[in-house]
Structures are given as C-alpha cells and as structure tokens.
C-alpha cells in the first residue's frame, strides 16, 4: 500500500521539497549560476542534492499524489481540517491522519478583534485570549471515527510529557501520540499508545549526516498502521 499525501500548511511555512531552499540561511540564489551560453544553471556543489529533491518532487507531481492546502489563521485551519477529514472519511481505516501542525492553544476570535490598529500611546496592552477549541474529540468521534489518528504533544517540562500524552489518548480515543520536548524534538521523540512507549532517536552518526527524525518516525507509523488495519476490529495498539 502506498500513500497519497494531503499536506495542510500555514501559508509561507515550510513545504515538502521546497523547504530545503526557502528557509535556508544561505540565499537560494547563491546556488544558481549564470552560464556562458546565457542560461541559468545550478552550481555543481549544490546540484546533486537539488536534483534528488527535484526528482522526488516531480514524481509526486506526476503521480498527483501530493496535494498542498494552505491556511492562514487557526480558524481557517480548523474549518479546513474538518472539511478535509470529512471528505477523507470514505477511506475508513486506510487513511492516516498525522497532526503535526503546531496549532496555538490560544487565539483572539475575529469578533473580538480591534477594527483598527491598536494605539500604543497608553503604555502596555492587555490581551484576553480564548482557548482554541479542542478539535481532536470531534475529529475522532465524528469526522473520521474509522481513521488512524496520530497527534503530537509538545512540552518543555519532561515531567509532564508522558502523563499528558496518555491523558490525551484516554480523553480523545485516538491511536498514537508522538511526544516530544521543545529542546530535543529534532533528534528524539516517544511514540505513545495506550499500552506502550516506544522511543525513536537519531544516533550521533545520523545527526552528523543531517538525517531527519521524520525518516524514522514515518516508517514506524506506516508499519503500525498496516498492523492495525490487518487486526480486525482495530484493537487498541
């Protein structure tokens, strides 16, 4: 089984493939060179990597297996997520939902926003923010009750991480929480189910090779998704 990917992302944030170039500290134009025949090429130092990225991107495009969907505000995100998941619900247990977007916990609803720019003459500003609606409960219960749902839990305090992840699994009833700490999240996560904890780490060698932790998370999730589909009744993992 292969996956087609619907990638929801905030406008101008990192996107698959192009992310290697848009948020680099090097300017992307430093990779390009003007050739003697007047055409533009890629500097030979950077060409092999760009070629590999471009080939993968073009394959996804050709096969039409990558759909990029954009949002701007957290409200846009929630409505888009509901629409997309409701459409995807026909895929039943064959769809995996990988909820990696770092959605804010608090927001200011449109109707409470100032019509005009807030004047700063008066000194400081007190902002009253509402809690962002907890969408995992309706998503698991109503939007895609048959889907394989993976959420993320990011904390800064290691003492809270596992307990809060388990609490989320109990409260929302989905399949997996990927628990991570702000400072170590790019090299270490814990894949948490109701009954197990499975650490995923990059080795020192992998870090030195710029390997990304997602390259170890995704195969593990695919394996578990397949096992979960195979097990009739989708018993708790």
The span from the CA of 166 to the CA of 179, in Å, is: 10
Between residues 30 and 231, which has the closer beta carbon with respect to its own copies? 30
- 180: CB partners within 8 A, 6+ apart: 152, 153, 154, 155, 161, 188, 189, 190
Minimum distance of its own copies from residue 4's CB (angstroms)? 18
Between residues 127 and 208, which has the closer beta carbon with respect to its own copies? 127
Minimum distance of its own copies from residue 124's CB (angstroms)? 5
Query: Largest Cα–Cα distance in the chain?
Result: 65
Between residues 57 and 228, which has the closer beta carbon with respect to its own copies? 57
Which secondary structure element, helix H or strand E, spans residue 227, and what is its range? Answer: helix 214-230
Minimum distance of its own copies from residue 229's CB (angstroms)? 32
Minimum distance of its own copies from residue 86's CB (angstroms)? 25
Between residues 51 and 223, which has the closer beta carbon with respect to its own copies? 51
Minimum distance of its own copies from residue 106's CB (angstroms)? 4
Question: Which contacts of 207-213 are long-range, i.e. CB under 8 A and separated by 24 or more positions?
Answer: 212/186, 213/185, 213/186, 213/187, 213/188, 213/189
Between residues 130 and 231, which has the closer beta carbon with respect to its own copies? 130
- CA distances to 26, 32, 47 from 29, rounded to whole Å, are 8, 5, 13
Contact 105, 131 (CB under 8 A): yes
Q: List residues near its own copies by CB under 8 A.
A: 11-12, 15, 17-18, 21-23, 25, 27-29, 32, 34, 38-42, 47, 50-51, 53-55, 57-58, 68, 70, 105-106, 115-118, 120, 123-132, 154-157, 182
């Amino acid at each position: 089984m292969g996956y087609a990917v619907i990638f929801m992302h905030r406008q101008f944030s990192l996107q698959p493939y192009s992310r290697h170039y848009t948020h680099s500290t090097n300017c992307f134009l430093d990779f390009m060179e003007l050739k003697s025949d007047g055409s533009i090429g890629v500097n030979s130092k950077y060409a092999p990597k760009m070629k590999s990225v471009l080939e993968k991107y073009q394959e996804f495009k050709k096969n039409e297996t990558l759909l990029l969907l954009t949002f701007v505000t957290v409200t846009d995100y929630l409505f888009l997520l509901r629409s997309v998941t409701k459409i995807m619900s026909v895929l039943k247990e064959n769809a995996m939902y990988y909820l990696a977007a770092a959605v804010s916990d608090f927001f200011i609803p449109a109707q409470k926003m100032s019509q005009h720019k807030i004047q700063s003459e008066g000194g400081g500003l007190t902002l009253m923010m509402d809690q962002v609606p907890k969408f995992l409960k309706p998503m698991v219960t109503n939007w895609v009750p048959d889907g394989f749902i993976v959420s993320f839990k990011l904390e800064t305090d290691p003492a809270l991480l596992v307990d809060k992840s388990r609490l989320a699994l109990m409260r929302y009833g989905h399949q997996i929480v990927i628990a991570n700490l702000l400072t170590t999240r790019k090299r270490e996560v814990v894949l948490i189910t109701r009954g197990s904890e499975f650490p995923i780490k990059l080795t020192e060698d992998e870090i030195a090779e710029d390997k990304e932790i997602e390259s170890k998370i995704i195969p593990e999730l695919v394996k578990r998704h397949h096992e979960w589909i195979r097990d009739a009744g989708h018993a708790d993992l």
